[in-house]
Structure 1
Amino acid sequence: MEADTLALAQGIDFSFWALFARATLTVKLVMIMLIAASIWSWAIIIEKFVSYRKARREASRFDRMFWSGEPLDELFDQLGPEPKGRSERVFAAGMIEWRRSHREDGALIANAQSRIDRSMDVAIQKEADELQRGLPVLATVGSTSPFIGLFGTVFGIMHAFVQIAETQNTSLVVVAPGIAEALLATGLGLLAAIPAVIFYNKFSADADRIVGNYEAFADEFSTILSRQLDS
């Protein structure tokens, strides 16, 4: 009898598609939700890799331009008021306010330094928001996917026990497919959550470092302008 049961169990298809096809509607919906969350997470991960690499490359290029000794007014005229680079936009925000703070006779309007600092702070915050866009999705996927998968597993196991009660049979042929389908939901939940958590932590640290560099540049630029104001 055991040999017949094992033979029947070995004949069951335990591939992903077979397990998905045999799952109940609720478990199927859970699996589809987790697969969609995983795809969404990987799309964000790839986009952030490209975006952060570009931001670091742009910052490095602008630093060389800024510290090349070229006059700041000429550098600003070269870049324009709406440059493409993130560091360049922070610089442009400060230069725009610097020029607006001059009266027609060449004298400076009062409190120019504080307005320049605020302008650059606003520009930095905009860049920070853009760099961090999508990270809350990774955090949400990383924190909720295991529980969504667990819900699918609990529902699938409950369905397996219902089948056992209906068939009055506890053999592997009845139990194994239901348990495998249920555990697949947990596996998909972990598959979605683990990369999301890892890359959320990585990108959060990367974004903080990039924004920190913008803030350091803004402080240095503000110091340069402050010297000109004092003179």
Structure 2
Amino acid sequence: MDRAVDAAGLAANGAVDLSLWALFLQADIVVKTVMIGLLLASVWVWAIIFEKVATLRRVNGRADAFEDNFWSGKNLEDLYEGVRDTPRHPMEAVFAAAMREWQRSAPKLEHAPDAVRESTRERIERAMTITIQREMERLERWMIFLASVGSAAPFIGLFGTVWGIMNSFAAIATMRNTNLTVVAPGIAEALFATAIGLAAAIPAVLAYNKISTDLGRYAGRLEAFAGEFGAILSRQAYEPRS
């Protein structure tokens, strides 16, 4: 209640400060905790957004260069030698996983029955599928945080708002004064908590939707490459070896 008395005293002297910094300083420990938590979440949201945007731009650019090199007619063995130990992006990792499995099986395919060739094809496809899943899990890291902030931040801010309004009603009861200058600081700081919650949630929701779409598009690109490369290796498995 001391805060209510202080607010009333300031109001009487015409010294009510409703700047954002003043609202934060005047807030009680619960509302301050809500504000600080939401501000930290907002900073982390923007860090994730910048990191994801930069990562997607990088992996798409490297995938473009790799596909140009892949479809240029370069020998697959030579291409594999350049990426086998340190794939630099998901598409190279998919290619390396398939070639690793192919090199293990290819020497046994010359006089192998069709069942063995089909088993080889399935192992190659499985290796590429597992690699795609692993690489996409790595790219999707922290996406759940964006979704959580987008859904929870408005309610956390609303909790701070409700708490602040409760303090304002307590001030009315204590001072027996319904003058707006008495309750304005408490209401303002309460609404400030909601504003911070929305400021954290809106970018998180928009970024989650956009980045999820881009990640899904990139996953489709990897799956298309895996399908095309799997078909190439499957044809080679059935071709007579010289």
Cα distance in 2 between the residues matched to 1:173 and 1:9? 10
CA deviations over 1:55-74 (Å, ceiling 9, x no partner)? 11011010001001001111
CA deviations over 1:144-174 (Å, ceiling 9, x no partner)? 0000000000010001100111011111220
Instruction: Please state how far the C-alpha of 1:10 moved relative to its aligned partner.
Output: 6.3
Q: Is the 8 A contact 2:147 2:205 kept in 1?
A: yes
Instruction: Please state how far the C-alpha of 1:80 moved relative to its aligned partner.
Output: 2.4
Distance verdict in 2 for CA 1:107–1:141, change over 3 Å = farther
Instruction: Please state how far the C-alpha of 1:41 moved relative to its aligned partner.
Output: 0.6
Please name the residue that 1:214 is paired with.
Answer: 222
State whether structure 2 residue 96 is matched by structure 1 residue 92.
yes
TM normalised by structure 1 equals: 0.93
Q: Is the 8 A contact 1:81 1:96 kept in 2?
A: no
Letter in 2 for 1:96: R
Please name the residue that 1:177 is paired with.
Answer: 185
TM normalised by structure 2 equals: 0.89
Matches within 5 A, 1:1-231: 11-103=15-107, 110=117, 111-231=119-239
Q: Which sections of structure 2, spanning at least 5 residues, go unmatched? A: 1-10
Cα distance in 2 between the residues matched to 1:102 and 1:66? 20
Instruction: Please state how far the C-alpha of 1:79 moved relative to its aligned partner.
Output: 2.0
Instruction: Please state how far the C-alpha of 1:229 moved relative to its aligned partner.
Output: 0.9
CA RMSD, 1 decimal: 1.8
Instruction: Please state how far the C-alpha of 1:118 moved relative to its aligned partner.
Output: 0.3
Letter in 2 for 1:24: D
Aligned residues: 226
Q: Is the 8 A contact 1:20 1:181 kept in 2?
A: yes
Cα distance in 2 between the residues matched to 1:154 and 1:171? 20
Cα distance in 2 between the residues matched to 1:204 and 1:172? 46
